[in-house]
Amino acid sequence: AELPPPYTAIASPDASGVPVINCRVCQSLINLDGKLHQHVVKCTVCNEATPIKNPPSGKKYVRCQCNCLLICKDTSRKIGCPRPNCRRIITLGPVMLIPEEQPAQPALPVQPDGTRVVCGHCGNTFLWMELRFNTLAKCPHCKKISSVGSALPRRRCCAYITIGMICIFIGVGLTVGTQDFARQFHATYVSWAIAYLLGLICLIRACYWGAIKVSYPEHSFA
């Protein structure tokens, strides 16, 4: 679930007597002169919207991770971000609506069962819904696979190196120990080839796990 944007009451007039409000994204002051009839205002610094009134009846505000402010039905449980560079599907949970006459307070957050992860390929942040690290994740931005945490690729790399070296040693042992037997039974060469092939495949897999990109969690909600 995503959080609704914090609702902020209109600040007191500044020294010139003009009402202002802080942008909920960059905290810059927004001049509200002539805009008090609107539900939201646009910041001139970051170009993001900030609500100055409660949403219309039957609606609610939702702030996407890309800071886009969305307005949807208060019964909606899923909403898609319209920005071309985002297109994130937001799953909503119940939120606390704040009456217009009450002092502004943050809504109670609905904790998502997941972790915000910084992609090792593109550097963008995405929500990984697994409750455990050391898994593979596909970034929704660049569509590339990475490991969440470095423990999994390290273990896999060591395991494949060990198995690969064992297979190669077995192949060398068979080659040295069965040379005379192989001259009579040529099928013995197949066992040599299988041992060397398995060793080579394991070493290639070890290289793959050693070179895989690692994505690191920002912090866990679990």
Catalogue the active-site residues.
72
Tell me how far apart the alpha carbons of residues 215 and 222 are, in angstroms, rounded to a whole number.
Answer: 18
CA distance 52 to 36: 8
CA 48 to chain CA centroid, Å, is 22
Q: Three-class SS of residue 96?
A: coil
Alpha carbon 76 to its chain's center:
23
Phi, psi of 128 (to 5 degrees): -100, 120
Backbone Cα Rg of the chain:
29
Q: Which residues contact 25 (CB under 8 A, 6 or more apart)?
A: 43, 46, 48, 50, 67
* Cα–Cα distance list, 185 to 180, 189, 191 (Å): 9, 8, 11
Strand-pair partners of 145:
138
